[in-house]
Structure 1
Amino acid sequence: MGRGRHRGRSQRKHYKDSRENVWKRPKSDAPVDSDNPAPASENPGWAPLITENPAFEEYYKEQRIVKPEEWDLFMEVLRKPLPAAFRVNSYGQFCDDILSKLENDFMKSLQAEAIEGGESEAIKPLPWFPRNLAWHSNFSRKQIRKVQTLQRFHEFLKLENEVGNITRQEAVSMVPPLFLDVHPDHFVLDMCAAPGSKTFQLLEIIHGSSEPGTLPNGMVVANDVDFQRSNLLIHQTKRMCTANLIVTNHEGQQFPGCRLSKGSSRVAEKGLSGGDLDLNQLSFDRVLCDVPCSGDGTLRKAPDIWRKWNSGMGNGLHGLQVLLAMRGLSLLKVGGRMIYSTCSMNPVEDEAVVAEILRRCAGSVELLDVLNELPELIRRPGLKTWKVRDKGAWFTSYKDVPKYRRGGILQSMFPSGKSYMENPENGSGDGCQGGCKETENAEAASSDESVEEISNLPLERCMRISPHDQNTGAFFIAVLQKVSPLPELQERTNPRKNLSTRSDESSAKSPDAKEDAEEKVSEAASSNDLSDSKADGDDVIEPENKKADGESVVEETQVPDGKETNTANTGGKRKLPMQGKWVGFDPVVFLKDDTVINSIKSFYGIRESFPLHGHLVTRNSDTSSVKRIYYVSKSVKDVLELNFAVGQQLKIASVGLKMFERQSSKEGTSVPCSFRISSEGLPTILPYITKQILYAPLADFKHLLQYKSIKFPDFVDQELGQKAANLVMGCCVVILNDGTQSGTEPVKVDGSTIAIGCWRGKTSLGVMVAPADCQELLERLNDRTPSVEEVESSPVNRTNGETGCPLDVETA
């Protein structure tokens, strides 16, 4: 039915600017004679790839993250490129077809390449991922792009990724959502979501049990602080075609709770009481807190980290990570589950953070033992003891840290989390927050500095995934459950007051401060895999300039309040969009124009059972010039109403599913309904349409995909051509006829229904589907059925064109 059809894209330059860390040798300005390459020592244009860092090896040997006898294997695997992995969209219409092609085609056809590379299998499903939906290849991304014999496989991955049928994602990145235990009715928050592969995975789970034309009760709020990375997040999630998603742009540690005060003036102005809204605050059943980290777990796909890595990177991010995790827990409902995860191997960013939030929560949060979940996933228990390194010195306890360094080394970085203050003026001698009790080992550390601190918390329940266990990257995961409300001090703490200056500076300066602003881009798509086309209007944020606070100055429509702002590029005045108090963000407005809504309902014969009123939003405060209309689920509608009631505290970058678009062609201005159904919205609304429908046999359906436009007399099925001519001019829907339906019957939609949007012009029927989607559908149909019998009936044989297109093709 066209699930996964493509949508607006962000500018390619945003991806190129972020792709510094790739497996290729650095270039120099000196020219290189390709015909007579000199040895490495003589050729200034060539340099060996650096996969050495003595400080890295010293640090992790001392932390004992692997056994001494495993160290050489651990390092050997870290120096090898990361094998490519991808995940099949379980919600996609062609999920079974793709799995069949992988199992019956590529597993066999690529086997020769695997044997030549010394591997037993070319590609195989990941044993721990449910339903064989995730696959591991024994080729790196570079090999897949460059090796000629892998070209067909590469083209397959590119196309299916572009239309949303698969997601190219690192294997260990797929793990956290599996432990989150998401149900279709859950409200889920992804706090640091870009580039969006995990968000996409969460949406798949939310939609997993829904039938065509129905929407789940749950939703996902995907947040990211970085304005540019939000483009990538939106690009990724648009492929899901979901009405159950809100993309926001906030600092995670200050994510709004949107608490509704019953006596507030805004509620009174809207004529609402707290009980009139379905929500009175924003809280979540599940929270994914995949925090910014030093990213050394991604060394295999981002080898530039070998050169950059130092122990201070993790130290500088520790305070921010604690704040993010605490904010996530404060937004979590009692009984809910939160995942804290990083792509770092550093215990200061991993176990130390988990230990600190357990201490702060004082028994209101439990670290779950999930050893019996995903038993085929090899994982290692979390550490209970570790050290802190700063500027070349090792510290086993906070009491050993000189006073002048305590601004950068926090007591929470150590296993006990206990403060040892000799001078009462510096603070209390008890640094244990939340009323925790220390073990004898921790107490011994205060008197004997040679004794390492050992945490009394059950940190062995954490999971550390090591690269050499299953040929992956490295990852750290902790599963937390909120068993009671947090202590009031923690619920109401002001993140800005608690975040150390050192943490702020480090997160801003470190090249790897976000989990992998550079590295994670390769999860979504390589530069070869992305389109050159620019973003389509308000589907994607595309700033002209970026302000210091992260908001952007963009050339857009008028500002509701008439404010004007100068842009740096032109020097002229530009009116910025305004979303409540957020400058530079398009407004989110519920569409209440009954004339527009009724014309759409009447033209397409949309049944009353499909709720349009109250579920349509636009991104333009001037409803008379609306170009796109978005559809939101009930859960998203409730959140938007709450957001309006509390003064638009949420800074919304993207919301809902693009359902209708204003037709911009000359014909579109004279038709009864000027809005066409978008490809993304078609699967959701199709079961409720009763007008403007055509049923096409396989031959004509494939010709439409191939030639894009066919004149009415040129259809193989003459009756179909006549029915097309009898339609009202404008948008229509063409459904692949499986022989069980006719044009007089209502649309019966199931998982196998394939439909596309078309435009009924004056003399022809034109396809309104992106080229990539046409290609993917055509290949899918060719795989299912032979096309030899269609050759004689092709429009080519009934026109005098030699290129395969009917004469005088009319474009929609």
Structure 2
Amino acid sequence: MPRGGKGGRGRRGAKHGGGIARSRDDGGRSNTWQSNGPAMQTNKYFEAYYWDQNIVNPDQWQAFLDHLRAPLPTSFRITSGKPTTAILIEQMQNFYLPYLSNVKFEGEQVPPPKALPWYPESMGWQIDVKKNALRKTEQFQKFQQFLVHETEVGNISRQETVSMIPPLFLNVEPHHIVLDMCAAPGSKTAQLIEALHSPLTTMAESYDPCPPGIVIANDADAKRAHMLVHQSARLPSPNIVVANCDASRWPSVRVPWNAKGSESVQERTMKFDRVLADVPCSGDGTLRKNLMIWKDWHPHNGSSLHPLQLRILMRGLQSLRNGGRLVYSTCSLNPIEDEAVVAQALRDCKGTVKLVDQSHAFPELIRKKGVFTWKVCPTKGSKDKLNVAKTAEGETEGEQKSEEKIEGEQKAEEKTEGGEGSSYRDTLPQLPYVEKHDDLAPEWREKVPKSLWPQGDEEALGLDKCMRILPQDQNTGGFFVAVLEKDDGSEPELSEGMAHGMVRAMGLKDATVSKQEAANTAKRPLNGDEEEESNKRVKTDADVAGDANGAGPSNGVAVEKKPEDIGQPGGAPYREDPMVYVDQNNEQSQSIVSFFGLTDKFDKRNLLVRNRDANPLRSAYFTSTSVRALITCGGAGKGDHPYGNPLKMRLINSGVRSFARQDSGKDPQLKCKWRVTSDAIPVLRPLIEAKKILHASISDFAFMISNHYPKLSDVPEGDFRTALQNEDIGSHLVDIAPGTYQDQKLERTICVPIWRAPASMNLMLERQEKSALSYRIFGKDLSNPSGARQFVVSKAQKQAQAQANAKRQQKEEQSMKIDEDELEALENAAASTTAAKEEQEQQEETAAQVEEEGQELSVDV
């Protein structure tokens, strides 16, 4: 999406929109070109600028414009490394492709979905269907429902095709520490999380539930950072951290680190193995979906963003470890935002950073090489700035043109149609290019960066190793990608990356703490009064605790506090709840470990809560050891925040919500008041003892989906019912074995959470998750009497529906009132008419009497 800059803070808000343009007749550079579309769908400055930049071959120019003016196809990714990955690919290939291959709409054949040939293992798809065909054909309606359903539960990500490209070139591995500098809305972050846990493969066996690496998703805009929390919740990971910092001023943080074979723990500045700098840009590569860009686009847009983009790129390179890789990308086609930024970064790094040739990677991806030269329009009024410089060099004022005159000429030129024999370029405005930085007046040379212009070393820098994706090549949007690697010879001991060293360091620190705790316990055991006071405090906190639906911002944890205004220069105050790790001897923590049979591979020290007292109240989150190393370092914090790093990084989210307190769990027989969340199953299932897992058949599972809190006596007889009756009250995980039910086949084991109540049980899945799972296995929603899919109804949708109902009721009441008013008016009018008629009759009668009396009087006289 376009990411217009805001105030120099590296924001990615949509300053500009974008949209569809109009097409022209075919022709070459010297041919006649005619505009024949709506004025709203063209921008002569855009056409003139990119014609002059020579990034599109003349024989491809018409196709370039035609594709920019056509709607953007729908595209999506299937999440890699999940049990559902292979199932969904099989459904796409064996069901939806045949199902959608012979669909006609308004007499035309509708193209079916197609796998992106360059995306690994058919996990990327694109479909070019008009919206009205999507809405009005039964086959595509069902397909759209399938996409929405699987997207809601995190098995599919709706993502623009070109947006999928940058994470692929990062080549993320499980031990990498990864920084996504400008991450919102989070589609690329999702790819990074997937790559950390599993290679880009359909094999669920490759999934690592808790790798040593970390993904830090950052965005400078607080609201957009909140979007990252929602996006990361679709792909739960103990290795995710969400931050809210200015990317161009990303903070340096210290973390514990241990060299392999050493027994000492050091503190080092954390360096990243991989950095994604998908920077704010003018977004003209998104014209196909963002309508307003056609109206707002101007050559100076890219020039104004260039300094910010360069600052972000340089900060990313500074944060990169020796041997690390950074991918710089924009959704702009402008060399000022692309090659010019990369070139200046390479110059500033003085040979310690190089561009990497990726022409061999993903060979089916069509890309163009970067360019060595380009033209520059620094800002509006560039020609005046140029003329001021020329005047200073001795030219007369009579040779200058006012800005008003220049703009008038440009408007006149813009209205000129290319006639017979005239060149296409002659019909476009003459843009105020400045040939070189020295042509600017001295006062402007200080304001306009020299890095906008080619310096003559572009070929030596290898800018042809950059990649530009053009819309006409693969029916996509436009995009730019550059892969850079750092080789400054520093800290060779970090060649393996820092994650393993951070994990080793925490192991040494934990061992030291355990010895100290053991010694302290031996000296002074906790007395009864202290234990009672501790329990009282937990109860008090729990009484005021709010529901915590995610480890996100302001999640209602029970802390009566006034958060300090901890912020960054120029930024908003940091008002997030503290991130605190639970003591491994905490009663609730021990209860969780004991009841669920968590093995030694589950580190109790990695349970995190969002309150200053480190007590699990409503929710407990699980993070990786490397994330704990990051959060608990950085010196002392401030206020309720015990650690310095969360304040420096302005953390708003971390880890996966793993355990939720069950409010109904007040039964005296209940040994553990916590339940495993469905989000945490991929992480926790491998860490639970086999004897603690229940087993059920596919027919048992069909019963679970079809019934809400059925009695234990109603559960079908068999091993599952027997095991369930013998289990303790509380939360349990159930493995559903492969099998067949009513001609529907389950080929892979799945694990689901249940709650065993004193006399009943229930499948603990959200409505839409249960519906999607049922559809995937049984071909219909067994939890819905109609068998139709059930979707998420958000609070916003509920509010919108309530508002619509209120408006409708108000309208009906108003209509009734109008009817009553009209009736009253009619009654009043009728009454007035009757009264007037009676009065008239009375007057006529009186007049007759008077006339009669007058006649009698005249006779008497």
Structure 2 counterparts to residues 48-447 of structure 1, below 5 A = 50-113=40-103, 121-139=111-129, 144-145=134-135, 147-208=137-198, 211=206, 214-259=209-254, 276-277=264-265, 280-389=268-377, 390-391=379-380, 393-416=432-455
Asked if 2 retains the 8 angstrom alpha-carbon contact of 1:335 and 1:482, the reply is yes
AA aligned to 1:590 is: Y
Q: TM-score, normalised by structure 2?
A: 0.67
Deviation at 1:644, TM superposition (A): 5.2
Asked if 2 retains the 8 angstrom alpha-carbon contact of 1:235 and 1:540, the reply is no
AA aligned to 1:461 is: K
Q: Which residue of 2 aligns with 1:616?
A: 607
In 2, the alpha carbon distance for the partners of 1:481 and 1:612 equals 35
Asked if 1 retains the 8 angstrom alpha-carbon contact of 2:19 and 2:286, the reply is no
| Higher radius of gyration, 1 or 2 | 2
Shift in alpha-carbon separation, 1:681–1:113, aligned structure 2, 3 A: same
Shift in alpha-carbon separation, 1:781–1:93, aligned structure 2, 3 A: same
Deviation at 1:457, TM superposition (A): 2.5
- Deviation string 1:633-658 (CA, Å, 9 cap, x unpaired) is 12222222334577222211111111
Select between 237-246 and 77-86 the one with higher mean Cα deviation.
237-246
- Deviation string 1:451-491 (CA, Å, 9 cap, x unpaired) is xxx7643211111100001100000011101011699xxxx
What's the C-alpha RMSD, in Å, of the aligned pairs?
Answer: 3.5
Asked if 2 retains the 8 angstrom alpha-carbon contact of 1:715 and 1:795, the reply is no
Higher helix share: 2
In 2, the alpha carbon distance for the partners of 1:781 and 1:163 equals 15
Asked if 2 retains the 8 angstrom alpha-carbon contact of 1:329 and 1:482, the reply is yes
Asked if 1 retains the 8 angstrom alpha-carbon contact of 2:186 and 2:227, the reply is yes
Shift in alpha-carbon separation, 1:652–1:470, aligned structure 2, 3 A: same
Shift in alpha-carbon separation, 1:751–1:659, aligned structure 2, 3 A: farther
Q: Which residue of 2 aligns with 1:430?
A: none
In 2, the alpha carbon distance for the partners of 1:739 and 1:217 equals 36
AA aligned to 2:621 is: Y
In 1, the alpha carbon distance for the partners of 2:692 and 2:121 equals 38
- Deviation string 1:135-194 (CA, Å, 9 cap, x unpaired) is 111125675356554100100100111111111111111111111122221111111111
In 1, the alpha carbon distance for the partners of 2:359 and 2:657 equals 41
**SS of match in other structure, 1:280:** strand
Deviation at 1:286, TM superposition (A): 0.9
Q: Which residue of 2 aligns with 1:539?
A: 550
Find out whether 1:597 has 2:596 as its counterpart.
Answer: no
Shift in alpha-carbon separation, 1:195–1:384, aligned structure 2, 3 A: same
Deviation at 1:665, TM superposition (A): 2.3
In 2, the alpha carbon distance for the partners of 1:244 and 1:282 equals 16
AA aligned to 1:246 is: V
AA aligned to 1:681 is: A
Asked if 2 retains the 8 angstrom alpha-carbon contact of 1:212 and 1:751, the reply is no
- Deviation string 1:551-589 (CA, Å, 9 cap, x unpaired) is xxx9875365x5589xxxxxxxxx99xxxx963112110
Deviation at 1:624, TM superposition (A): 3.8
Shift in alpha-carbon separation, 1:321–1:23, aligned structure 2, 3 A: closer
Q: Which residue of 1 aligns with 2:498?
A: none
Structure 2 counterpart of 1:466, from 467, 470, 473? 470
In 1, the alpha carbon distance for the partners of 2:285 and 2:117 equals 21
Shift in alpha-carbon separation, 1:213–1:702, aligned structure 2, 3 A: farther
Select between 478-487 and 464-473 the one with higher mean Cα deviation.
478-487
**SS of match in other structure, 2:41:** coil
Shift in alpha-carbon separation, 1:458–1:301, aligned structure 2, 3 A: same
Structure 1 counterpart of 2:773, from 777, 785, 810? 777
Asked if 2 retains the 8 angstrom alpha-carbon contact of 1:294 and 1:344, the reply is yes
Select between 247-256 and 356-365 the one with higher mean Cα deviation.
247-256
Q: TM-score, normalised by structure 1?
A: 0.71
Asked if 1 retains the 8 angstrom alpha-carbon contact of 2:69 and 2:288, the reply is yes
Find out whether 1:558 has 2:553 as its counterpart.
Answer: no
Deviation at 1:212, TM superposition (A): 5.8
In 2, the alpha carbon distance for the partners of 1:718 and 1:24 equals 61
* Identical counterparts, % of pairs: 37
Find out whether 1:476 has 2:476 as its counterpart.
Answer: no
- Deviation string 1:9-28 (CA, Å, 9 cap, x unpaired) is xxxxxxxx979958799xxx
- Deviation string 1:58-110 (CA, Å, 9 cap, x unpaired) is 11112122122221211111000100011111122111111111111221221
- Deviation string 1:708-729 (CA, Å, 9 cap, x unpaired) is 3221111122553343233211
Structure 2 counterpart of 1:647, from 615, 623, 644? 644
Q: Which residue of 2 aligns with 1:636?
A: 627
Shift in alpha-carbon separation, 1:124–1:542, aligned structure 2, 3 A: same
Select between 136-145 and 245-254 the one with higher mean Cα deviation.
136-145
Select between 626-635 and 192-201 the one with higher mean Cα deviation.
626-635
In 1, the alpha carbon distance for the partners of 2:14 and 2:172 equals 31
**SS of match in other structure, 1:345:** coil
- Deviation string 1:399-433 (CA, Å, 9 cap, x unpaired) is 112234335421011111xxxxxxxxxxxxxxxxx
- Deviation string 1:290-348 (CA, Å, 9 cap, x unpaired) is 10101110111112211221222211110010010001001111111110100001111
Q: Which runs of 5+ in 2 are unaligned?
A: 1-12, 22-36, 200-204, 382-431, 492-545, 637-642, 741-745, 788-861
Shift in alpha-carbon separation, 1:96–1:66, aligned structure 2, 3 A: same
In 2, the alpha carbon distance for the partners of 1:541 and 1:596 equals 22
**SS of match in other structure, 2:620:** strand
- Deviation string 1:253-291 (CA, Å, 9 cap, x unpaired) is 1112214699xxxxxxxxxxx985476221111111110
Asked if 2 retains the 8 angstrom alpha-carbon contact of 1:188 and 1:285, the reply is yes
Q: Which runs of 5+ in 1 are unaligned?
A: 1-16, 26-46, 263-273, 417-437, 440-453, 488-534, 544-553, 566-574, 741-749, 788-793, 797-801, 805-812
Select between 281-290 and 113-122 the one with higher mean Cα deviation.
113-122
Find out whether 1:723 has 2:719 as its counterpart.
Answer: no
Asked if 1 retains the 8 angstrom alpha-carbon contact of 2:696 and 2:719, the reply is no
AA aligned to 1:165 is: N
Shift in alpha-carbon separation, 1:151–1:781, aligned structure 2, 3 A: same
Asked if 1 retains the 8 angstrom alpha-carbon contact of 2:581 and 2:607, the reply is yes
Asked if 1 retains the 8 angstrom alpha-carbon contact of 2:75 and 2:158, the reply is yes
Higher RCO (CA-CA < 8 Å; seq separation 6+): 1
AA aligned to 2:559 is: Q
Q: Which residue of 2 aligns with 1:673?
A: 672
Asked if 2 retains the 8 angstrom alpha-carbon contact of 1:364 and 1:486, the reply is no
In 2, the alpha carbon distance for the partners of 1:395 and 1:24 equals 30
Deviation at 1:211, TM superposition (A): 4.8
In 2, the alpha carbon distance for the partners of 1:680 and 1:20 equals 36
Q: Which residue of 1 aligns with 2:574?
A: 583
Shift in alpha-carbon separation, 1:699–1:173, aligned structure 2, 3 A: same
Asked if 1 retains the 8 angstrom alpha-carbon contact of 2:557 and 2:611, the reply is no
Deviation at 1:379, TM superposition (A): 0.6
AA aligned to 1:466 is: L
AA aligned to 1:653 is: I
In 2, the alpha carbon distance for the partners of 1:406 and 1:669 equals 78
Asked if 2 retains the 8 angstrom alpha-carbon contact of 1:383 and 1:459, the reply is yes
In 2, the alpha carbon distance for the partners of 1:172 and 1:117 equals 31
Structure 2 counterparts to residues 706-745 of structure 1, below 5 A = 706-738=706-738
**SS of match in other structure, 1:201:** helix
